[in-house]
Amino acid sequence: MVDYIVVGSGLAGIAFCEELRKRKRSFVVFDDGSQQSSRVGGGMYNPVILKRFTPVWRAKEQLDVLPGFYSAIEKRLGVTLNTPLRLLRRFVSVEEQNNWFEAADKPLLAPFMCTTIVHRKIDGVHADHGFGEVLHAGWVYSGLLQEAYMKELDKEHRLYKEAFAYDALEWTENGVHYDGLNAKHVVFCEGFGLHKNPFFNYLPLNGTKGEVLEVDIPGLEIDHILKSAVFLLPLGGSRYKVGATYKWKDKTNAPTQEAKDELLEKLERFLKIPYKVTAHLAGIRPTVADRRPLVGSHPEHSNIYVFNGLGSRGVMIGPWAAPILLEHIENEGEIPSEMDAVRFQKRWFKKA
């Protein structure tokens, strides 16, 4: 008998497992490697939407939780995951500078946006209008996190590297039975894999394909994230990550030439020195029609739950939302209505 079966060990599953560890609950994890959003994702966190200069949903609450969450895992696993970094948004016009100042005056954004324009000359980067600086941004190495976390689960004999077979799930007096295991609860953290889940695929998880490149730029020396039409994230030495694309039709994990061309065209708008592409990766972000997470109970079946819809912000949302879900499961804690999966329950009854 275990307290929990967790399906999926991406950012959502890891955040939930961490809560289970804190509360000393027993659990096992299933992961079949079918999704790779957390493995390939950019891993950045920042509290400002840099296209429109608007606040990220509940950014302050999420940033309050983030450092403690990742540093606890870093200490236990002996890896470096969280690197707070300056984030400079490149301006392309005076109008953008003005929009920045206007936004930086708003109470929700003021703590996160510097009001002096950074006129920094960076060799190899074209930036006539300077940069706006975002505060409290950084990067979590989510690929390494997932790899190290799964290794630990494996060592602890908690990890089943296989697909969860939905039709083998049975309900018992005390919870559920699954393939020789008795558990009190099952939490599905499947990312875009949710669309195969007959219990939760009524939820409007659209999925947005994203592609990133790793590039070597020997002539560039920056120790901050640079955001323009694409982001440039320093990985150490002359290595950088460039991303990301947003595509709504293709739902495969295969990198495409079209996305590579798009990323390089955007990169070359501001990067004026030679570079070499060293890797090209793709994954599906678990995005939702209304851009809010999907967290909560099943509308009809007891003891099964969903933790999904982290969209393009899994690094920030996961650690903040996981304790809310656990509190809901164990003590009927309230889930903020914007992310409670109950908002779509009519779709289940319509489907059923």
Ligand X SMILES: Cc1cc2nc3c(=O)[nH]c(=O)nc-3n(C[C@H](O)[C@H](O)[C@H](O)COP(=O)(O)OP(=O)(O)OC[C@H]3O[C@@H](n4cnc5c(N)ncnc54)[C@H](O)[C@@H]3O)c2cc1C
Q: 220: helix, coil or strand?
A: coil
Q: Does position 315 bind ligand X by CB under 6 A? A: yes
Q: How many residues bind ligand X (CB under 6 A)?
A: 44
The nearest distance, CB 211 to ligand X, in angstroms, is 6
- Compare residues 9 and 82 and give the one whose CB is closer to ligand X: 9
Q: Does position 243 bind ligand X by CB under 6 A? A: yes
Binding ligand X (rule: CB under 6 A), the pick from 175, 193, 207, 296 is: 193
DSSP 129: T
Q: Does position 189 bind ligand X by CB under 6 A? A: yes
Binding ligand X (rule: CB under 6 A), the pick from 4, 16, 17, 31 is: 31
Gap between the Cα atoms of 63 and 65, Å rounded: 5
Beta bridge partners of 315: none
Q: Does position 164 bind ligand X by CB under 6 A? A: yes
* Token pair of 127 as six digits: 């930036």
- Compare residues 109 and 189 and give the one whose CB is closer to ligand X: 189
Which residues ranging from 54 to 113 are in contact with ligand X (CB under 6 A)? none
Stretch that binds ligand X, among 33-41, 50-58, 70-78, 89-97 (CB under 6 A): 33-41
Q: Does position 311 bind ligand X by CB under 6 A? A: yes
Q: Does position 234 bind ligand X by CB under 6 A? A: no
Please return the burial class of 91, using the count of CB atoms within 10 Å of its CB with bins 0-12, 13-18 and 19+. buried
Gap between the Cα atoms of 230 and 245, Å rounded: 8
Binding ligand X (rule: CB under 6 A), the pick from 5, 16, 28, 35 is: 35
What DSSP string describes 61-127? Answer: HHHHHHHHHHHHHHHHHT---EEE--EEEEP-SHHHHHHHHHHHTSTTTGGGB-SS-B----TTB--
The residue written with tokens 């008998």 in the block is 1
Q: Edge-to-edge strands of the sheet including 82-84? A: 44-45, 138-140, 82-84
The nearest distance, CB 119 to ligand X, in angstroms, is 26
The nearest distance, CB 116 to ligand X, in angstroms, is 26
Binding ligand X (rule: CB under 6 A), the pick from 34, 98, 115, 172 is: 34
In 137-242, which ranges are continuous DSSP H helix? 142-155
Contact 311, 293 (CB under 8 A): yes
Residues that bind ligand X (CB under 6 A): 7-13, 30-35, 37-38, 40-45, 163-164, 189-193, 210-212, 243-244, 283, 285-286, 308, 310-316
